[in-house]
């Protein structure tokens, strides 16, 4: 059986300390978008690495612009990905050993 629904944008969080979780949001619901923006901003401040897949390529998120709701993956406007069009993966900081 095939699922023809497009997955909601969001972020999959991989964290060895607190466990993995998935956060999806509906771009048409401002409260859900606000929660996503707060979560993304907080994760970057805490040192999470965030990766966004676009087509066949995966990009490391350098910054996040909460005013424009875009992941910044480079230094030009062409290197921005709207959060409403992306599914990202975040990896929490952890000690190696």
Q: What is the pLDDT of residues 20-70, one digit of tens each?
A: 888 999 999 999 999 999 999 999 999 999 999 888 899 999 999 999 999
Rounded to whole angstroms, the Cα distance separating 17 from 27 reads 29
CB 70 within 8 A of CB 62: no
pLDDT interval class at 78 (50, 70, 90):
confident
Give the global pTM: 0.82
Strand order in the sheet with 63-65: 63-65, 70-72, 80-82
Q: How many Cβ atoms are within 10 Å of 37's Cβ, its own excluded?
A: 17
More confident residue, 14 or 72: 72
CA distance 23 to 81: 18
Q: Could you give the 3-state DSSP secondary structure of residue 43?
A: helix
Which among 49, 60, 59, 51 has a CA at the least distance from the CA of 92?
A: 49
């Amino acid at each position: 059986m095939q699922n023809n629904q497009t997955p909601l944008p969001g972020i999959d969080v991989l964290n060895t300390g607190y466990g993995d979780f998935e956060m999806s949001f509906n771009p048409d619901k401002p409260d859900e978008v606000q929660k996503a923006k707060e979560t993304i901003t907080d994760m970057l401040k805490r040192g999470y690495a965030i990766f966004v897949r676009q087509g066949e390529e995966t990009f490391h998120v350098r910054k996040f612009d909460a005013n424009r709701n875009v992941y910044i993956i480079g230094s030009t406007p062409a290197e921005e990905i709207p959060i409403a069009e992306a599914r990202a993966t975040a990896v929490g900081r952890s000690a190696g050993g």
